[in-house]
A and B are shown apart, each in its own frame.
Chain A
């Protein structure tokens, strides 16, 4: 038993930090209805602020902790609430998910620009002494962290149960309007809750920093482990979140011992300790009773969903497709070899974005694990080639291998909506990366897989242009297939399901099949894209397809426009083409930050940037610019009214529809 004690002590300590993060998450979720994916980013920013205050400015650690946790944390909470989420009120849950992911991506980019990608050592907060308890030595810091977490947990529970402000916070999420009617200031209450939740994230970040250093991705990922603990309590229970976090912390440490003692030969088990929270997250989400995870954002009255439907998304985009093919065909004759190489990557990425837009734009299901599909496509192609399978059959099989895995994800997709599906796919993505990327089915222990270029009619396509045209052909075929899905019955069905699943089911249509098929189709094409991308570079490694890539892709696609092929094309251009024109290594970080900001700004736009541009002729500004002032603007307004005529034709019907709200 004494062998285990040090691990248990360590587990309780790390579990206590997860508990702080998890409780902060629960506080903001239960009081504002917003699940903040950027919770880990708040912790990360706080850790870096602590670094700046102590190392750069030379402040005492205690003072720095005080300033960060009680100053920066609440400040970030206010900004996030008032600046980002408040203006979304009434939007669907997808918009909230996208904005918080945008924030996560933007903050990560910003921090790396400011501090660089390497980990920064951070001074300890507590004295580096130990207490000898006989069987085990316990550090002062361990005692302090455990006490702080337990004390704050208890305090928080009492705060919600016993104080009027705590009660107000619970009442506001239940029904904000009614809370106002009983005399609570709903707006101030929500902001207070954000400040509180944010401070908890800050504290978790600052407490983690001395052991881990200030490291953007590591901190985000560690705090994200709190998602699992929070999920155990269905995101709403503080005591279960606390107990779950401690339990996961202890289990994590014990599993480190078990894996090193009994299963050191099993490479896949080496990722088990840090995967436990995600196993918990994914398992809880897919096995819990249907409907037991209730989306709190829905308590806010849903805005008319017609606003989020992209114009023209139901037609086959013949013009856009023609432009893509036209530009695609002339690129090699105009561009240098290196530019054509970039264009090849772009064509493969176009397939990926097109597949992602099927989920994001069409059925409005957020997949945060597309990097897994792409990685599997890439590595499976490599493995099959190594076994002597020719390129095209191998590519097709790589796509098909992903289909059942994507089908597995369709289980949460059918059972869960919006936020929880996003969470499940996120958990799945991290889990897959931690547990399976190092196995021989995927990247193997070396973390790399070699992929060969295709051979067509006996010729190896190793020339830049030859390979480019090969990828172009597959890209066009894939995009046409995706667009056919969008324009035909399945697409209509998915659009309708996204609007109201219940309405579709009352028509006697089984939506389960449609939602399963769309995940499989999307996964298939993502894998095809992965295969092509890998054979372009001929060696692929784990770092190219980390879970964070999935988040960036979602942010880019939302910013560009997730509902049409034009959006996928623009996303590809923004992600692949723009960096090719810059030589500065930092450009990728700036790009990441801007994608995040773009996703935040455009989360509610019907079809991102593409939607804004195509909608330009309908705006007042355009009316003014195109003609000579107010008269023209009036003419435009008349046109607009005529266009909207069927819904508001008679003035008498207007009060009739409005009054029932």
Chain B
């Protein structure tokens, strides 16, 4: 299952954010999407998930045009976005959050899977999700990807505000998903972590794709100096 974006334009109201985006996530590949603040990374992920409607261009998932399909239909087709800033229902309990992910099917298995990866969640099933620590909340958010087994997983700034040890734990789970052959599209501020799991790298600058390549091409540092500022790599 391949994600393909061709000449895609999108934005909010009169404000155009994304210009002429061409991007491909081949089946089973991991793509890192990098760029400075305000480059349009989040908007791109939201457009793919269906929260932002493209103004023109093509957005194909598994060969089917998606531009005007609602987000929940794309979810049913295996597209999963874990949004920036703790993608959880703060007022529901941990168990209820997991039940939301599985949509009523196999709740017990979902709990089992989530707690196998993140044992701490198992001790907090009846706790209101919003009262957990930031790291635990992010684990719960990532648990969605684990229990719903999506074909394409998009993750937006997973590590913001988390302790390194927690980030390690969460990235270990993502590595596993990668090993299972799921497609990944990752936006991440820790460039090295993103490069470590990526097959391809796209750099977004002011709403346009300015670089497409492989992680090895980025090691030199010149690319980052040009688009992300010195010292990033």
Contacts and interface: CB of A to CB of B under 8 A. Distances in A.
Given A178-B89, A657-B38, A171 B100 contact: yes
B75 A654 contact: no
A660 B187 CA distance: 13
A167 B17 contact: no
Interface stretch (A18-26, A80-88, A182-190): A182-190
Interface string A18-54: 0000000000000000000000000000000000000
B51 A179 contact: no
B135 interface: no
B38 A185 contact: no
B40 A659 contact: yes
Interface stretch (B8-16, B24-32, B165-173, B176-184): B8-16
B43 interface: yes
Interface residues of B, number: 40
B42 A659 contact: yes
A175 B16 CA distance: 25
Nearest to B71: A180
A656 interface: yes
B206 A183 contact: no
Contacts, number: 105
B15 A658 contact: yes
Contacts of B226: none
Contact of B17 (A179, A181, A654): A654
Interface stretch (B60-68, B91-99, B112-120, B211-219): B91-99
Nearest to A183: B75
A170 B91 contact: yes
A660 B12 CA distance: 11
Contact of B92 (A167, A656, A658): A167
A657 B12 CA distance: 10
B51 A180 contact: yes
* Residue from the set B15, B72, B206 with the largest chain A CB neighbour count within 10 Å: B72
Contact of B83 (A164, A181, A660): A181
A168 interface: yes
B101 A654 contact: no
A655 interface: yes
A543 interface: no
A184 B100 contact: yes
Nearest to B204: A659
Given A655-B16, A655-B206, A659-B43, A180 B70 contact: yes
Contacts of B99: 164, 167
Interface in B185-203: none
Nearest to A165: B104
Interface in A643-657: 648, 652, 654-657
B91 A183 contact: no
* Residue from the set A164, A175, A179, A655 with the largest chain B CB neighbour count within 10 Å: A655
A182 B75 contact: yes
Contacts of B104: 164
B92 A171 contact: yes
B50 interface: yes
Contact of A655 (B17, B72, B87, B144): B17
A100 to B, nearest CB: 23
B83 A655 contact: no
Contacts of B80: 181
A190 to B, nearest CB: 13
Contacts of A654: 15-17
Contacts of A174: 89-92
B100 A656 contact: no
A659 B83 contact: no
B76 interface: yes
B160 interface: no
B207 interface: yes
Interface in A145-188: 164, 167-168, 170-171, 173-175, 177-186
A661 B206 contact: no
B51 A167 contact: no
Contacts of B50: 180
Interface string B31-52: 0000001111111000001110
A184 B72 contact: yes
Contacts of B71: 177, 180-181
B233 to A, nearest CB: 22
B41 to A, nearest CB: 7
Contacts of B75: 180-183
Nearest to B81: A181
A182 B100 contact: yes
Contacts of A178: 83, 87-89
Contact of A182 (B17, B18, B41, B144): B144
Interface in B86-140: 87-92, 96, 99-101, 103-104
Contact of B103 (A164, A186, A657): A164
A532 B3 CA distance: 72
B38 A660 contact: yes
A654 B42 CA distance: 15
Nearest to B104: A164
Nearest to A187: B70
A170 B40 contact: no
A657 B15 contact: yes
Contacts of A185: 70, 72
A185 B75 CA distance: 11
Nearest to A660: B38
Interface string A379-423: 000000000000000000000000000000000000000000000
A177 B38 CA distance: 21
A655 B15 CA distance: 7
Contacts of B96: 167, 170-171
Contacts of B37: 656, 659-660
B38 A655 contact: yes
Nearest to B91: A174
B215 to A, nearest CB: 24
B38 to A, nearest CB: 4
A577 B129 CA distance: 57
Contact of A177 (B41, B83, B101): B83
A166 to B, nearest CB: 10
A573 to B, nearest CB: 36
A373 to B, nearest CB: 38
Contacts of B70: 180, 185
A537 B101 CA distance: 66
Nearest to A296: B91
A11 B143 CA distance: 49
A648 B12 CA distance: 14
* Residue from the set A177, A182, A652 with the largest chain B CB neighbour count within 10 Å: A182
Contacts of B42: 659-661
Given A167-B99, A180-B70, A659-B207, A175 B89 contact: yes
Contacts of A177: 51, 71, 83
B206 A656 contact: yes
Contacts of B206: 652, 655-656
A168 B100 contact: yes
A164 B90 CA distance: 17
Contact of B100 (A167, A173, A648, A657): A167
A658 B72 contact: no
A495 to B, nearest CB: 25
Nearest to A178: B87
A661 B39 CA distance: 12
Interface string A181-225: 111111000000000000000000000000000000000000000
Contacts of A175: 89-90
A186 B89 CA distance: 14
Contacts of B72: 180, 183-186
Interface string B142-175: 0010000000000000000000000000000000
Nearest 10 CB-CB pairings of A with B: A656-B38, A180-B71, A164-B104, A183-B75, A655-B207, A658-B17, A174-B89, A659-B40, A658-B15, A659-B38
Interface of B: 11-12, 15-19, 37-43, 49-51, 70-72, 75-76, 80-81, 83, 87-92, 96, 99-101, 103-104, 144, 206-207
10 contacts: A170-B92, A171-B92, A180-B51, A182-B100, A182-B103, A184-B103, A652-B206, A655-B15, A656-B37, A660-B38
